[in-house]
Structure 1
Amino acid sequence: MSFIPENIIDEVRLASDVVDVISDYVNLRKKGVNYFGICPFHTEKTGSFSVNAEKQIFHCFGCGAGGNVFTFIMREEGVLFPEAVRLLAKRAGIEIPEPDENDNTSLQEREALYYACELAADLFHAQIFTESGKPALDYLYKREFSDEAIKAFDVGYAADSWDILLKHAEAKHMRPEIFEMAGLLNKKDSGGYYDRFRHRVMFPIRNLAGKVIAFGGRKLVTDDTVPKYVNSPETPIYHKSNVLYGLFQARESIREFGEVIFVEGYTDVIRPAVAGIKNIVATSGTALTDLQARLVNRYTEKVILLYDNDLAGAKATMRGADILVAQGIEVKIAELAEGEDPDSFVQKNGIEALRSKLQAAVPLLDYKTRSLGKTGVDQKESIQSLVGTLSRIQNGIERQEKVREYAERMKINEEVLWEEVRRLRKVQRTRKNYDSKNLQVDIQLRGSATSSFALRSRPVEEELVRIMLIYPRSVPYIFSFMELTDFYNDDYRTIAALMHQLYEHNVRVDAEELVHYFNEPEIANFVSRIVHQEKNAAGLAPDFYRWAADCLANLQRIMLDTKLIEIQSQIRDCEKSGGDATDLRERYHVLQTQKVRIKAENFLPSKNEEK
């Protein structure tokens, strides 16, 4: 069905920030109030493609293309409007129901769920400032939360009653079944309904469109048999694995500061945010998920984890950190004293003290190595944790440098550490859920890929693909250093994706039959040519490890050359504008040092691994 109701379209539009969406396709840089990049719709070098966050539009001064977020997806993906809405809805975690042509029940139902949550949020917020809400207000005032903080996040109070929300729903002529479906009422065994949240401080949870979709309720009684928190269950509009508390309010600050702070609880967000640290979100007491990591990666590639510093909290933090690393996010850890949380810390010490803690945050790998050698710490477990992080680093250059650096720090043989990292990466790959019936791979290229890099890397990528076609055994070895996104040439990436998935599914295909896997004539011709050249070649070197190692080293040099040229340009721009280029020069020096250290020998496996 192509028809999508206007209310759903509006919801998708609100949840799809034009800068966030276009950043998935174009490398944007802020200049003044707008963002600029290379236009994806025509060939250019000047960067005349402009995106306006305030107006939620884009325009290219070169080719004249322009429009809103839907227009961009239609042009970029080559789809019609309904499909563009669906693609963006999927990206934002918004379900578009598919009712029968003559049935709009499920559409009305979904809208009713949003309305029920808004009604509940309004009721809870109004109640906190009434006489019945005095226990909740006193609790918050005692913890030094101001009216400003309460109103900024619409904190409320669920009365000590079994049916106040139920009666409110009936007064609004709403069916109680809708409130039950929204997780606001529970059904009695004997029939009828009762309020799910009772005598609790209420924290509404909003989606990226700003709509209330769920609640967290904090108890006000001291009875230990009563759960401290009661949270909304999963509903048609709320999936906790794809939601971060406070992200709706924090989006602009995250983009402005270029990083986000992760905390655990609702008040850990509210107190710092009201005091001035607004780029802060919470997992709301649940373990960090892949979906949440991908969600925050739309806004930034830098995360500071600021969780409770007890043993259980530390382990949960490490698990979440590795999930972020796997998404290409730079992770730092900010430490608080045991038993302290961001809310209580700011209450006791002030917001500037928290800023100091955040500024002192240490890189994840440094944090993990600190535990080595400490009394009572399991050394084997600590090293395994370190290997877990190293194996999840997506950038091949960075992974290589980190393995070398931390092997030296820990006084571990570098090759031994490499073996562990490669072994774990292989295990991780086997856990991925590949669709063996569909060998199409959806890849989003990094925006930093330049035409210069693409031109220089093309022959190297061709050699790596050639090696995989001739020696299928080389596939796991090559992919221990690379990701599919490291292939910038579309054709070579398509071939590499096929070889990778055939290997993962343990599918053996005769070399000459590989051409049948490709519909594009150009790719089929290339594969056929390589296979036939190999058949007719005399004395092709059987040592594909040395061949591949030379290619991998060369590719990394080209990558670094491209980055060095880009940083040189940034240094010049910074100096012209009178800015401080110290950090850029330091980064330039680090990359120069890395380039000098790149050798083919660094990529060669041990003799045992070759077997």
Structure 2
Amino acid sequence: MISPSSIDQIFETARVEEVIGDFVQLKKAGSNYKGLSPFSDERSPSFMVSPVKQIWKDFSTGKGGTAVSFLMEHEHFTYPEALRYLAKKYNIEIEETVQSDEQKEKANEKESLYLVSEFASHYFKNILHKTDQGKSIGLSYFKERGFTEETIDKFDLGYSLNEWQAFTDEALKKGYNIDYLAKTGLTIVKEDKRFDRFKGRVMFPIKSMSGRVLGFGGRILITDKKAAKYVNSPESEIYYKSKVLYGIHLAKQSIAKEDNCYLVEGYTDVIQFHQTGIHNVVSSSGTALTSEQIRLINRLAKNITVLFDGDAAGMRASLRGIDLILEQGMNVRVCTFPEGEDPDSFAKQNTLEELSDYLNSNAKDFIQFKASVLFEESKNDPIKKAETVRDIVNSISKIPDRIKKEIYIQECAKIMDISEAVLFSTLAQINKKDHQDVNKREQPDQQVFEVIKNQEAPKKVDVQYILERKIIELLLLYGNKTKDFEDLVLKESESGELELEPVIQQAKVFEKIFLDLQDDEMEFSNPQFKLIYYTIIERLNQDVEFDLKSFVNSVDQDMANEITSILMEDERYTLDNWNRMDIFPKEKEATVAQIVSETILSLRCFLIDQKVKGFQQETLKNKIDTNRNILEEVKDYSSLKMLLSRKLNRVL
């Protein structure tokens, strides 16, 4: 287990904006950062990171927390794994305490699959470099491809011995469970037989965005018509092909920096580009491009450049993936290589400058590319030309941005020599059909003249919940700050009338809140708020220097999530960028004392209303005459409510 001193060092060193910035493209928004949610499919940013508070909040899903909770949520890390990831990122040496057998057994199945995959990666790498077969076959192959030792090490390339059970026997000898070897697909189990899936293949570990081994791709080196050239790990609880891009863990920072991602087809394409010096490149690993893979890129950049080799049939099949990219609101460019060349071979034969110049000069906008590919086949056939035009307009219809749509229609009209009016008409027909199809899927069949009854009434606002939440927020943000509070005392004037006279008292925010709530014997109705309230008060009483980041890191995950949600709720307005529209919200820091007084007075008024309603309900329920005592109580509470209302009006 990780020692407490190491955990403290990790929390003190890690910066939430740097950690999340490895996975999400963040842009400055006032004192915060914003970006697209990594947990939902969206086009407008609702994900916010606060460097000051060292927390994050995803308004689209309600999730939030610290750097550690982000890794646990996004990468499905356990708590210790998230800490180890951060320690590695910030070069912190971890101090370990001895782990008991019982604690080892508690590791869940998913973690066991990760551990098996990690072991396999080290094993294959070791075989490549330290066995005669690995060096003479596997290493020789990689060297022939032009890969340097540094590149081979960077991508953790390996080799699986050409023996039926070499890997499985070694894994079992090291204590790994056969069930997990089978579930990751590393070992194939048939009745009482066990054998290695990747026998006699060079190995390409496939990793998550954070660099965890999820699965493998294996390439056979001998000519065997019965064996597939490439074999991938089967899908498992940790490996979903549709959600993974090869090389993303090494490319993510470069993709965000360049605001562009090169998309290639194979493992070696990615590796060769990296070796040449272009790092913002990933591969769909031989599978058809999926929406989930595009969303991975979309969180880092808005531009994708798809790279094709000279194979026309392959290009046509890949054109379908472009429509998926357009649907995500991304900008697409396409670049093809000379006939007989692919990204791997072209990068190998050219310098970084030559490769960069070629990509910049030959990358075409998707519409120009699609028109040039399809137009050549249809220019002498009116029927085919009409189909080509409809195909291109269909792609344009996928674009969410209306301005971009119009510009592309104009471009298409020039290229295809057809009037804009016809293209706009065709676009309108496609959009109408798509809209009708969506409605058919989403709406259940309804009878003609069917009356829809029992519509849900609008939800009632829970005033007490809002006020209690506000008190927690004030304690978290300003609990340890000293402020001047104006207390309004009731005094008799010279004319004999009662008046509210202001008295200034200096106090810490948490002391003011605690004493006022104590005076009125007010309790929180929400159990979680109550627990958070007393936890904060206790910490503020103990620590002269209350540190919000340390406090959030010290409480359990449920409480940390609730605290994060409360703290970030107030930052939501920065997502709308009011300052750009010359609307400048007032800084809360300047009016803390006023907000504290207003919140407490509002809560007291609300509780009095509840008390009076309780008297009314009790009288009606018991069917008794309203006696003098109840009338006196109601009168007293009503007088107090009037006094508090006067105070509240003064505060406002």
TM interval, shorter chain, is 0.5 to 0.7
Task: Find the aligned partners of 2:220 and 2:450 in 1 and give their Cα distance.
Answer: 65
Distance in 2 separating the partners of 1:258 and 1:205 = 23
Pairing 1:58–2:53 present: no
Structure 1: distance between partners of 2:60 and 2:429: 38
1:162 paired residue among 161, 164, 173 = 164
| 2:110 counterpart residue number | 110
Q: Does 1:382 align with 2:388?
A: yes
Change (3 A) 1:376 1:416: closer
Q: 1:283 to 1:434 in 2, by over 3 A?
A: farther
Structure-1 residue corresponding to 2:334: 333
Give deviations 1:321-347, integer Å, cap 9, x for gaps: 110110011000011123321111112
Distance in structure 1 (CA, Å) of the matches to 2:218 and 2:436: 40
The Cα shift of 1:351 comes to 3.2
Whole-angstrom distance in 1 between the partners of 2:16 and 2:196: 31
**How big is each residue's C-alpha offset from its partner over 1:406-435, in whole Å with a ceiling of 9 and x where there is no partner?**
224322232332232233334444555999
Q: What pairs up with 1:268-287 in 2 under 5 angstroms? A: 268-287=269-288
Per the alignment, residue 300 of structure 2 pairs with 299
Answer yes or no: is the 8 Å Cα contact 2:247–2:283 preserved in 1.
yes
User: Does the 8 A contact of 1:245 with 1:281 survive in 2?
Assistant: yes
Change (3 A) 1:255 1:22: closer
CA distance in 2, matches of 1:16, 1:320: 32
Match of residue 154, structure 2, among 139, 152, 155: 152
- Over the aligned positions, Cα root-mean-square deviation in angstroms equals 4.2
Within a 5 Å distance, the mapping from 1:68-467 to structure 2 comes to 68-69=55-56, 72-73=57-58, 108-129=108-129, 130-133=131-134, 134-189=136-191, 191-360=192-361, 361-371=363-373, 373-375=375-377, 378-429=384-435
Query: Which segments of 5 or more consecutive residues in structure 2 lack a partner in the other structure?
Result: 1-6, 36-46, 80-101, 462-575, 582-652
| Contact in 2 for aligned 1:215/1:232 (Cα 8 Å) | yes
Conserved in 1, the CA contact under 8 Å of 2:22 and 2:252? no
Deviations 1:194-231 (A, max 9, x none): 10001111000011221101000011102233211010
CA distance in 2, matches of 1:385, 1:95: 47
Q: Is the 8 A contact 1:332 1:362 kept in 2?
A: yes
- Structure 1: unaligned runs, 5 residues or longer: 1-5, 39-49, 52-56, 61-65, 97-101, 437-503, 523-561, 568-611
Mapped to 2, the partners of 1:35 and 1:148 lie a distance apart of 38
In structure 1, how many angstroms separate the alpha carbons of the residues matched to 2:315 and 2:456? 47
Farther off after superposition, 162-171 or 396-405: 396-405
SS of the residue aligned with 2:171?
A: helix
CA contact (8 A) 1:390 1:402 kept: yes
* Equivalent pair of 1:368/1:382 in contact (CA under 8 Å): no
Residue 381 of structure 1 and its aligned partner are, at CA, apart by: 4.0
Separation (CA, whole Å) in 1 of partners of 2:453 and 2:424: 32
Kindly state the Cα deviation for residue 275 of structure 1 after the two structures are TM-superposed. 1.9
Three-state SS of the structure 2 residue aligned to 1:28 is strand
Q: By how many angstroms is 1:356 displaced?
A: 1.9
What CA deviation, in whole Å up to 9, does each residue of 1:9-63 have, x standing for no partner? x9xx99994237776xx7537x9xx97569xxxxxxxxxxx99xxxxx7335xxx
The 8 Å contact of residues 202 and 219 in structure 2, kept in 1 or not, is answered as: yes
Separation (CA, whole Å) in 2 of partners of 1:414 and 1:517? 46
Q: Is the 8 A contact 2:309 2:342 kept in 1?
A: yes
- Residue 304 of structure 2 contacts residue 331 of structure 2 at CA under 8 Å; is this kept in 1? yes
Conserved in 1, the CA contact under 8 Å of 2:327 and 2:400? yes
8 Å CA contact 1:371, 1:382 repeated in 2: no
Letter aligned with residue 148 of structure 1: E
Inter-partner Cα distance in structure 2 for 1:383 and 1:106: 60
**Mapped partners of 2:421, 2:390: distance in 1:** 15
Contact 1:117 1:212 in 2 (8 A): yes
Distance (whole Å) between structure 1 residues aligned to residue 344 and residue 20 of structure 2: 33
Measured at CA, do residues 185 and 334 of structure 1 come closer, stay the same or move farther in structure 2, by a change above 3 Å? same
**Conserved? CA contact 2:206–2:216, under 8 Å:** yes
| In 2, Cα distance between equivalents of 1:506 and 1:391 | 27
Q: Separation in 2 of the partners of 1:193 and 1:269?
A: 33
User: Distance in 2 between the 1:511 and 1:88 partners?
Assistant: 49
Distance 1:236 1:386 in 2: 39
Give me the TM-score of the superposition, normalised by structure 1.
0.60
Equivalent of 1:519 in 448, 458, 476: 458
Whole-angstrom CA distance in 2 between matches of 1:79 and 1:336: 44
Cα contact 1:308–1:339 (8 A) shared by 2: yes
Q: Give the Cα–Cα distance (whole angstroms) in 2 for the partners of residues 410 and 435 of structure 1.
A: 34
Give distance in 2, aligned partners of 1:513 and 1:351.
Answer: 65
Distance 1:426 1:198, change over 3 A: farther
* Contact 1:126–1:156 under 8 Å retained in 2: yes
Deviations 1:176-206 (A, max 9, x none): 11101011000124x1311000111100001
1:550-575 deviation per Cα after TM superposition (whole angstroms, max 9, x unaligned): xxxxxxxxxxxx99x989xxxxxxxx
Deviation string, structure 1 residues 558-603 (Cα, Å, up to 9, x no partner):
xxxx99x989xxxxxxxxxxxxxxxxxxxxxxxxxxxxxxxxxxxx
C-alpha contact (below 8 Å) 1:20/1:298 kept by paired residues:
no
SS of the aligned residue for 1:400 comes to helix
The letter for the 2-side match of 1:58 is: S
Does the C-alpha gap of structure 1 residues 250 and 418 become closer, same or farther in structure 2, counting only changes over 3 Å?
same
Note if contact 2:255-2:300 (Cα within 8 Å) is conserved in structure 1.
yes
Q: How many residue pairs are counted as aligned between the two chains?
A: 415
- Give distance in 2, aligned partners of 1:309 and 1:225: 27
- Asked whether the 8 Å contact 2:206–2:217 carries over to 1, the reply is yes
Per-residue deviation, 1:505: 5.1
1:120 is matched by which residue type in structure 2? A
Q: Which has the larger radius of gyration?
A: 2
Structure 2 residue matching 1:162: 3-state secondary structure? coil
User: How far apart in 2 are the matches of 1:225 and 1:387?
Assistant: 43
Q: CA–CA distance in 2 between the matches of 1:107 and 1:566?
A: 50
Q: Deviations over 1:384-418 (max 9, x none)?
A: 33122111010112212322332243222323322
Alpha-carbon shift at residue 104 of structure 1 (Å): 11
Distance of aligned partners of 1:197 and 1:89 in 2 relative to their CA distance in 1, 3 Å threshold:
same
Higher relative contact order (CA 8 A, sep 6+): 2
1:546 matched to which residue of 2? none
Query: CA, structure 1 residues 508+422, in 2 after alignment: closer, same or farther (shift >3 Å)?
Result: farther
In 1, the alpha carbon distance for the partners of 2:199 and 2:179 equals 19
Partner Cα separation in structure 2 for residue 125 and residue 385 of structure 1? 47
Question: The residue matched to 1:132 in structure 2 has which SS?
Answer: helix
Q: 1:432 to 1:81 in 2, by over 3 A?
A: farther
Cα shift at 1:506 = 6.5
Deviations 1:360-387 (A, max 9, x none): 2111011122235425664244223312
Match of 1:581 in 2: none
SS at match of 1:128: helix
- Between the aligned partners of 1:309 and 1:106, the Cα distance in structure 2 is 52
Whole-angstrom distance in 1 between the partners of 2:385 and 2:219: 39
Distance 1:336 1:111 in 2: 42
State the alpha-carbon separation in 1 of the partners of residues 229 and 336 from structure 2. 25
* CA deviations over 1:74-120 (Å, ceiling 9, x no partner): x88656869x95x9867658899xxxxx9998952111100110111
Q: Which runs of 4+ in 1 moved over 4 A?
A: 13-17, 20-23, 34-38, 75-82, 87-96, 102-107, 375-378, 429-436, 504-515
Residues 509/81 of structure 1: CA separation in 2 closer, same or farther (3 Å cut): farther
C-alpha distance after superposition, 1:153-188 (max 9, x if no partner)? 000001101111111111111121110101100012
